[in-house]
């Protein structure tokens, strides 16, 4: 059992509330008992900037910031203060930011490091929920069940006998995973149980997963994955190098009949190349929880029954946000009441700048 330090004064934490009451009960209790919470209540980022610049404003003297709630949850979905001018005016007293989410593309890690502020995300809290959506979209890309449901709900008069020709079972097909991490291995386990063959491309092989999942094969050349995969699942992080990883040229390296699922980041797939592959008949099934121009969708994708499109809901499960709150509170407790050793994303950057 962890022995926590006794502090003379509770650390002051700026907390981002949201309209839904989703909490990890024990962590929520700890957060309220061990910290002085100041609720974020600005109507805009500009208002936060103005308030943060006041020497004795309501946000002065903060020790940390906690955004353990859903990042695009109301009422502060459009307010991101961890980059740009807002990040520059975060009070100098702040030493730690904890946030929900696996990614941190809306966080300026270097700027925070320069200011001596540690940033902790919440890794692996949305892995299971995102993996579930990935498996769902893989099945959809083969069987077109969302189209079949749409047919019933709209009392459609369309002829759906074409599903007899285009729909296929995933069993014995090859799934190619680009980016085999915490989410990817969960998908791989499930799809292997459905009888699929699994290959993957990563920066480095994962022998621990290969020994667990029968037949799991590492392909160091991504072109080899394109060539053998019946369905390609994207799970790689977004970087400048992975922008439009799937493009007109990469489709030329794929099978004549291929399926594509993206649960990573929308801009990894070039939308124009997807539309072209659909119209040419090469892309015979697709599932996208993320798209290049979300929340805007091209009609040629929306109106194509071979494509299932979701509004970026991979992480949308109650357990995701309970676990995120638990992780954020654990980091706050360890930093202020424990030994201070936490797994911050930008700790190496702080070391370089100090």
List Cβ neighbours of 103 (8 Å cut-off, separation of 6 or more).
121, 237, 238, 265
Give the integer Cα–Cα distance in Å for 247 and 268.
9
Give the integer Cα–Cα distance in Å for 129 and 183.
9
- Sign, Cα dihedral of 288, 292, 296, 300: negative
Tell me the β-bridge partners of 258: 283
- Cα–Cα distance list, 195 to 25, 35, 52, 127, 188 (Å): 39, 50, 56, 22, 11
Give the integer Cα–Cα distance in Å for 241 and 219.
19
Give the integer Cα–Cα distance in Å for 189 and 212.
9
Let me know if 300 is a catalytic residue. Answer: no
Helices 127-143, 145-153: axis angle to 10 degrees equals 80
Find out whether 202 and 209 touch, Cβ atoms under 8 Å: no
CA angle 136, 271, 150 (to 5 degrees): 40
Q: Torsions phi, psi of 234, nearest 5?
A: -95, 120
- Report the C-alpha dihedral over residues 10, 14, 20, 24, rounded to 10 degrees: -40
- Sign, Cα dihedral of 178, 180, 181, 187: positive
Give the integer Cα–Cα distance in Å for 244 and 236.
12
Residues in the chain: 354
Let me know if 150 is a catalytic residue. Answer: no
Let me know if 294 is a catalytic residue. Answer: yes
CA angle 229, 194, 166 (to 5 degrees): 55
Q: How many CB atoms lie within 10 A of CB 238?
A: 16
Catalytic residue among 265, 292, 322, 330: 265
Catalytic site positions: 265, 294, 312
């Amino acid at each position: 059992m962890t022995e926590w330090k006794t502090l003379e004064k509770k650390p002051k934490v700026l907390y981002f509330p949201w309209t839904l009451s989703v909490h990890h009960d024990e962590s929520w209790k700890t957060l309220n008992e061990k910290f002085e919470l100041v609720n974020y209540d600005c109507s805009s980022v500009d208002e936060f900037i103005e308030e943060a610049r006041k020497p004795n404003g309501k946000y002065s003297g903060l020790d940390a910031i906690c955004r353990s709630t859903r990042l695009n949850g109301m009422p502060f979905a459009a307010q991101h203060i961890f980059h740009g001018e807002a990040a520059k005016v975060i009070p100098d007293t702040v030493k730690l930011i904890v946030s929900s989410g696996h990614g941190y593309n809306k966080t300026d890690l270097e700027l925070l490091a320069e200011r001596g502020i540690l940033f902790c995300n919440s890794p692996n809290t949305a892995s299971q929920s995102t993996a579930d959506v990935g498996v769902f979209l893989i099945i959809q890309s083969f069987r077109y069940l969302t189209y079949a449901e749409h047919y019933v709900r709209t009392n459609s008069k369309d002829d759906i006998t074409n599903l007899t020709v285009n729909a296929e079972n995933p069993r014995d097909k090859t799934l190619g995973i680009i980016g085999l991490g915490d989410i990817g291995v969960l998908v791989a386990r499930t799809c292997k149980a459905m009888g699929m063959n699994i290959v993957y491309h990563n920066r480095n092989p994962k022998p621990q997963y290969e020994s667990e999942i029968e037949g799991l094969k590492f392909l160091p050349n991504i072109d080899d994955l394109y060539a053998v995969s019946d369905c390609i699942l994207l799970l790689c992080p977004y970087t400048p190098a992975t922008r439009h990883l799937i493009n007109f040229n990469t489709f030329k390296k794929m099978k004549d009949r291929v399926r594509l699922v993206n649960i990573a980041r929308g801009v990894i797939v070039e939308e124009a190349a997807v539309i072209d592959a659909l119209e040419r008949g090469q892309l015979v099934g697709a599932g996208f929880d993320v798209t290049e121009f979300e929340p805007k969708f091209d009609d040629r994708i929306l109106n194509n029954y071979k494509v299932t499109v979701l509004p970026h809901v991979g992480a949308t499960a109650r357990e995701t946000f309970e676990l995120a709150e638990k992780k954020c509170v654990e980091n706050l407790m360890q930093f202020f009441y424990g030994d201070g050793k936490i797994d911050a994303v930008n700790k190496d950057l702080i070391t370089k700048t100090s």
